[in-house]
Structure 1
């Protein structure tokens, strides 16, 4: 009987190790996202080259649209960086960045909830830029297209607000105790005041006792 339990325990251990090792199957996904940043860079350089070479012949609206396209690509690249590093550290493995002095602080502290908020914030910003690009050429865009772009943008904004509220509510209701106040404030000052009050003699009682003696 003991041998059977030992065998089952070993099988359970090896099964859990195999399941835990499946997290590395996500690594090619993040590698592919890294390659997609190269594609975005090529597109960015093409847009920048077109903007520079047509700077004098383009109208003000066309220049603004070109700049908005560059901002859109930059935001998309930043979104990919957030997904790659945060997703890899949350789901695959920790990155040893002890020798990287330029390592951003947020990459080591962001959790899955914060990752979702950053993703939605980036999506809202990208949606706003797309909407602004359409408004710059509103005479060429139909009312129906503008209507649906506004609706989609509102949905993104409302979704991000609701997600932030739900994370805030769940954080308050998780039962975590608030951080202890600094010395000299809060309960520490209250305890200090109580000890100080106890150390001060009651002069009224001493005066009353002196009156009785007289």
Structure 2
């Protein structure tokens, strides 16, 4: 009975696979939105101001960071929680694929969220006339919460990894 339960629990990891396929579809949606934003930027070209150009490029960077974040979650999540991808023969396989553990995934996620939040904040600062001081204040507070959360998460991971090394028995010198 115990073995059956354990095998069933282990097999249940495959329930995550449709979620990662759904995230891959979400990546298609981001590519579509990127193309639409790029097209809008191209159409503005004849009358574009410097601020329009910078805001448009920031929107594209924001979308590419979100897509990068999605790829990290898809690859690392699938490999950490479902199954290893047998793609060793692929020449263009990302170097980090298969090497990002859950701790590294958390840090990459937080770093991406901080970068995306920073870009949103920069867009607000470039178009400050369209926002209330209250809205700007909340955007800054939220960004700072993301930054502080990232620093605390990194500190916790650093402490945990150093605690593991301290617990390892030291080799006896002869």
State the TM bucket, normalised to the shorter chain: over 0.9
CA displacement, residues 75-111 of structure 1 (integer Å, 9 cap, x when unaligned): 0000000000000000000110121111112111110
> Are residues 1:128 and 2:118 paired?
yes
- Cα distance in 2 for partners of 1:177, 1:146 equals 52
Please name the residue that 2:88 is paired with: 98
- Which deviates more from structure 2 when the two are superposed, residues 168-177 or residues 140-149? 168-177
User: Which of 18, 24, 27 is 2:14 aligned to?
Assistant: 24
Please name the residue that 1:152 is paired with: 142
- Which deviates more from structure 2 when the two are superposed, residues 116-125 or residues 94-103? 94-103
Larger Rg: 1
> Residue 96 of structure 1: SS of its match in structure 2?
coil
> Residue 24 of structure 1: SS of its match in structure 2?
helix
> Are residues 1:163 and 2:153 paired?
yes
- Cα distance in 2 for partners of 1:43, 1:171 equals 40
User: Which of 55, 59, 84 is 2:45 aligned to?
Assistant: 55
Identify if the C-alpha distance between structure 1 residues 177 and 151 changes in structure 2 by more than 3 Å, giving closer, same or farther: farther
TM-score w.r.t. length of structure 1: 0.77
Q: CA deviation at 1:177?
A: 6.4
- Cα distance in 1 for partners of 2:127, 2:17 equals 42
How is 1:28-47 mapped onto 2 (pairs within 5 angstroms)?
28-47=18-37
Number of residue equivalences: 171
Q: List runs of 5+ in structure 2 lacking aligned partners.
A: none
CA displacement, residues 22-71 of structure 1 (integer Å, 9 cap, x when unaligned): 10000000000000110100110011011112112121111111100000
Root-mean-square deviation (CA, aligned residues, Å) is: 1.6
Please name the residue that 1:73 is paired with: 63
Q: List runs of 5+ in structure 1 lacking aligned partners.
A: 1-10, 179-186, 192-214
- Cα distance in 2 for partners of 1:177, 1:60 equals 61
The structure 1 segments of at least 4 consecutive aligned residues displaced by more than 3 Å after TM superposition are none
Higher normalized contact order (CA 8 Å, seq sep 6+, divided by chain length): 2
